[in-house]
Amino acid sequence: MSDRPLASVIVRAKNEGRNIGRALALLDAQTVRARLEVIVVDSGSQDDTVAIARAAGARIIEIPPESFTFGGSLNTGCRAAAAEVLIALSAHAYPVDRTWAERIVEPFADDRVACVSGRPTGPEGERLAGPRRADKDLLRANPSWGYSNVGGAFRARLWRERGFREDLPCTEDKEWSHYWAERGFVTIVDPTLEVEHSHDDDVLLEVCRRARREWEGFPMYLDLPPYGARDLVREWWTKRGGCRSQLRARLSPRRLAQLIGKYQGLRATR
């Protein structure tokens, strides 16, 4: 057996003392833990995040908080990683079972796979019954759907050829998968690989701001059609947006905050 790890897990963190211990404990419980390398990239935590990560046996890389970007911090972790499959995991995202790391690596047996992540719903908000292979046409038509660095894996060889963009506000994962889809690779989205990750406690203003950042990022690499107030109302009324029904989507304040953020983000790029 090669001395190379099966996968390198890169955890981006800042002031995650309440959460990172659980995330690292769940990694430690993985069936392939002996073959995982765990790297924590911390961007200036002022709580006990670093101490918790160090006690858990993770390798710590500290970067100045003012240098942080989503893509840049992940690139820093990737440069230190030894494996040929790299796993990105948010410090407040939790694998749901002990085989998660083992299963997220398996699709890379197919040389056409660039990246893999979990999500329970498809691009139209439908429940996914099994893995979906997303090619360039699907990703072009659904820019906010697909690969996620919240809990996802990607091929190190491709990252070495072209890392994550560091100028994007927070869509570095979608852009990277889009880039490789345009070159014939695919993204695997598997509902069984979804990690426990929620921003349900966020106030609506933060929900709106996050959506705005995302939709400011998408036009930086995609040619998107105009999106005006009528488009916002039409999407609110006709699409589920990940909700279980259209009625729930129409009544959800969070869904409306997301759509307002989308509208603001796309308006800001015109």
4: nearest Cα among 131, 156, 209: 156
∠ Cα 42 196 247 (to 5°): 125
Distance, in Å, from the CA atom of 219 to the CA atom of 148, rounded to the nearest integer, reads 18
**Dihedral sign computed on CA atoms, order 84, 120, 225, 262:** negative
pLDDT at 165: 97
Domains of the chain with CATH codes: 7-193 (3.90.550.10), 204-268 (no CATH)
pLDDT at 41: 98
Enumerate residues 6+ apart whose C-beta is below 8 A from 157: 84
CA distance to 104, 138, 211, per residue, from 184 (Å): 21, 13, 29
Amino acid (1-letter code) at residue 236: W
| pTM for the model | 0.92
Q: Are strands 59-62 and 186-189 parallel, antiparallel or unpaired?
A: unpaired
Task: Using the structure block, give the residue that is written with the tokens 């995330």.
Answer: 23
**Dihedral sign computed on CA atoms, order 214, 218, 219, 221:** positive
CA distance to 38, 75, 106, 130, per residue, from 101 (Å): 12, 20, 9, 18
Count CB atoms within 10 A of the CB of residue 207.
Answer: 20
121 and 148 in contact (C-beta within 8 Å)?
Answer: no
Mean pLDDT (10-residue bins), the chain, 270 residues: 86 96 98 98 97 97 95 97 98 96 98 96 89 96 94 98 95 97 98 85 87 92 92 92 84 94 85
Task: Output the six-digit token pair for 149.
Answer: 């660095």
pLDDT at 198: 67
Q: Which helix (H) or strand (E) holds 137?
A: helix 136-141
